[in-house]
Chains A and B, each alone.
Chain A
Amino acid sequence: MKPAFLKRMFNVSLFLVGSLGHVSGETPPSARNITDTPFYIDVQKDSYLGVVGNWKNLGQDFINWQSNYNLSAYVLILGLIIGVLSIHYLIFGRTQIKKITHGGKLVPWFSLFNRVVHWLAAVSMSILVLTGLHITFGNVFGGGGFMRFTRDLHVIFGLFFILPAVLMFIMWVKNAIIAGYDFKWLFRMGGYLERDPIHLPQGKFNAGQKIWFWEGTVGGAVMFYTGYLMYSFEATTDNLRISAIVHNVLGVAIIVFFILHIYMVIFIHKYSMRSMISGKKDEIVATELHSEYMKKVKEQTESVAEG
């Protein structure tokens, strides 16, 4: 009798304390937690699974990636590459450029066709990168009509990019095949992290440029295909989720090399811009930097002369 009475009194006192606490701290209805009612999806889970298929597996992965990691990955990787390049410019920026001698005669380097294709690809790639970043950071820029326009631009230039990408693949694929000396170049990061720039052997393109080539053409094809799926919805929901993740991950990888490529020509190899505009390169620079390619050219001209 007695313990039961005590227990009841204890409950009443708890109730009083609880209600007092509520009266003193009145919260507006809208501020209260509304998520504590049961989920009806659980009541009839089996029928829904029959309708929507096994939604949970990839759906959960996609939601996790998109809501927790996608933006953080972009901020982290873009911040990292910009930070690393700024530090690189402060430390090596001036020393590396002075050591390269100029003043030799000019040799033809890029044909007119090469240059036109390159600049078509450059313009469309720049627009793709800018509009893609605009959409990725949509919550910062706020969506709306202007972003619908940039999304249309992204689609249009994604289509247009096929033309220069295919032409570029055909004209440079023989120069972009990975050779043995490229691993040496990669191992020393092309000598860009050393105070005295030594000119590691390289072909017409160095290993970094080769990676950028493969990323831009083959990676571009993957970007085009996943983007097409997401635009047209012509796939199962699971494949659309995979497409979205692949598009975003490959996108940030392409942007990293896009930034690297522009940094190199603006801050390190300033003279390189000339070869992509006029098509001619300084002969001393060509023989020092692109030693393997010049060797090959010399052999070819000799064999032609002999023949």
Chain B
Amino acid sequence: MANQSVTVPIREASGPSSKYSPARMRFYVDVKRCIECGGCEVACKNENNVPEGIARIRVVTVNEGKQGETNVAIPCMQCSNAPCIAVCPVDALFNRADGIVHVNKDTCIGCGYCLYACPFGAPQFPTGSPFGKRGVMDKCTYCAAGPEEPFSAREKELYGSNRIAEGKLPMCASVCATKALVAGDGEEVAKVVRQRAAARGGGTAWGWSAAYPAGK
């Protein structure tokens, strides 16, 4: 059954208060860099052998063809204090020590409450069974598979590949051509966000507002 004694990524201490602490794994999607190539979607499906009809990550375009067009790739954002965990009637969802949200597919009954609660539409339900009956919930695993023996055949079949246990980052972030999708420890990701914001000069020297000033 559930084996949760998986080693989680550890980050070195940045302050005097702690020697080591678990990394807090996060995604960051840079909406100014994403070019809607769909590489993350394809890479995810290929890496995790995702069933047909399920999109663990998808690229959404807002204001398509208008000024201010924005693309954003939406995986499961691995919330702290996650709404899906709060509403699950069978407690199938949980936060790992490094913040990754796992679903236990042996416990899940496929009721769909997590979908009603999720701000990102991350929970996916395989269809195609008779009478449109839903299977159990499937979602982005941050390429950390699920609560199963790491690298076992059952883990691979139920959840997909476990790149985190191999010391690698999620496949979608690894293949992102423009590095719009950044994954990793929260502190490292925050550094990237700060660097990029500084390089853009607070949003006025780069992007739509600079290229197409208002009124022109």
Which residues of chain A have a CB within 8 Å of any CB of chain B?
15, 18-19, 22, 26, 29-30, 32, 34-35, 37-41, 43-44, 47-48, 50-52, 55-56, 59, 62-63, 66-67, 135-136, 138-139, 141-145, 147-148, 151-152, 155, 230-233, 237, 240-241, 244
A99 → B minimal CB distance (Å): 46
User: B109 contacts A151, CB within 8 Å?
Assistant: yes
B153 → A minimal CB distance (Å): 20
Q: Which residue of A lies closest to B11 (CB)?
A: A29
User: A37 contacts B109, CB within 8 Å?
Assistant: no
User: B111 contacts A135, CB within 8 Å?
Assistant: yes
User: A240 contacts B98, CB within 8 Å?
Assistant: no
Q: Which stretch from B26-34, B45-53, B162-170 is at the chain A interface?
A: B26-34
Partner of B70 from A50, A148, A151 at Cβ < 8 Å: A50
Interface residues of B in 69-108 (CB under 8 A from A): 70, 72, 74, 77, 79-81, 83, 86-87, 89-92, 95, 97-99, 106-108
User: B86 contacts A66, CB within 8 Å?
Assistant: yes
Q: Which residue of A lies closest to B31 (CB)?
A: A47
User: B26 contacts A34, CB within 8 Å?
Assistant: no
- Assuming the contacts A30-B8, A139-B89, A233-B112, asked whether A35 and B80 have C-beta atoms less than 8 A apart, the reply is yes
Q: Which residue of A lies closest to B182 (CB)?
A: A40
Q: Which residue of B lies closest to A237 (CB)?
A: B116
User: A51 contacts B60, CB within 8 Å?
Assistant: yes
Q: How far is the CA of A275 from the CA of B22 in the complex (A)?
A: 69
Which residues of chain B have a CB within 8 Å of any CB of chain A?
8, 10, 16-22, 24, 26-29, 31, 60, 62-63, 70, 72, 74, 77, 79-81, 83, 86-87, 89-92, 95, 97-99, 106-113, 115-117, 119-121, 125, 132-134, 136, 186-187, 189-190, 193
Q: Which residue of A lies closest to B117 (CB)?
A: A63
Most chain A CB neighbours (cut-off 10 Å) among B87, B120, B125: B87
**25 A–B pairs (Cβ distance < 8 Å), ordered by A:** A19-B16, A22-B16, A32-B22, A34-B24, A34-B98, A37-B190, A38-B190, A43-B193, A47-B70, A48-B120, A50-B63, A51-B62, A51-B74, A59-B116, A66-B86, A66-B87, A135-B111, A138-B90, A138-B91, A141-B90, A143-B109, A151-B110, A233-B115, A233-B125, A240-B115
User: B72 contacts A34, CB within 8 Å?
Assistant: no
Partner of B109 from A47, A138, A244 at Cβ < 8 Å: A138
Q: How far is the CA of A30 from the CA of B21 in the complex (A)?
A: 7
Contacts of A19 in B (CB 8 A): 16-17
Contacts of A139 in B (CB 8 A): 89-91
User: B72 contacts A44, CB within 8 Å?
Assistant: yes
User: A44 contacts B31, CB within 8 Å?
Assistant: yes
- Assuming the contacts A47-B72, A66-B117, A139-B91, asked whether A40 and B77 have C-beta atoms less than 8 A apart, the reply is yes
Contacts of B113 in A (CB 8 A): 66, 244
User: B87 contacts A41, CB within 8 Å?
Assistant: no
A25 → B minimal CB distance (Å): 11
User: B29 contacts A52, CB within 8 Å?
Assistant: no
Q: How far is the CA of A63 from the CA of B110 in the complex (A)?
A: 17
Q: How far is the CA of A44 from the CA of B104 in the complex (A)?
A: 30
Q: Which residue of A lies closest to B28 (CB)?
A: A40
A34 → B minimal CB distance (Å): 5
Q: Which residue of A lies closest to B193 (CB)?
A: A43
User: B112 contacts A52, CB within 8 Å?
Assistant: no
Contacts of A38 in B (CB 8 A): 186, 190
User: A143 contacts B90, CB within 8 Å?
Assistant: yes
Partner of B18 from A30, A32, A141, A152 at Cβ < 8 Å: A32
User: B18 contacts A143, CB within 8 Å?
Assistant: no
Q: Which residue of B lies closest to A37 (CB)?
A: B186
**Given A18-B17, A143-B107, A143-B108, 11 more contacts at CB 8 Å?**
A34-B22, A34-B24, A40-B26, A43-B28, A50-B63, A59-B117, A66-B113, A67-B87, A138-B89, A152-B133, A244-B113
- Assuming the contacts A38-B186, A47-B31, A50-B63, asked whether A147 and B70 have C-beta atoms less than 8 A apart, the reply is no
Q: How far is the CA of A64 from the CA of B43 in the complex (A)?
A: 36
Q: How far is the CA of A59 from the CA of B118 in the complex (A)?
A: 8
Partner of B112 from A29, A35, A240 at Cβ < 8 Å: A240
User: B22 contacts A29, CB within 8 Å?
Assistant: yes
User: A48 contacts B190, CB within 8 Å?
Assistant: no
Contacts of B110 in A (CB 8 A): 148, 151
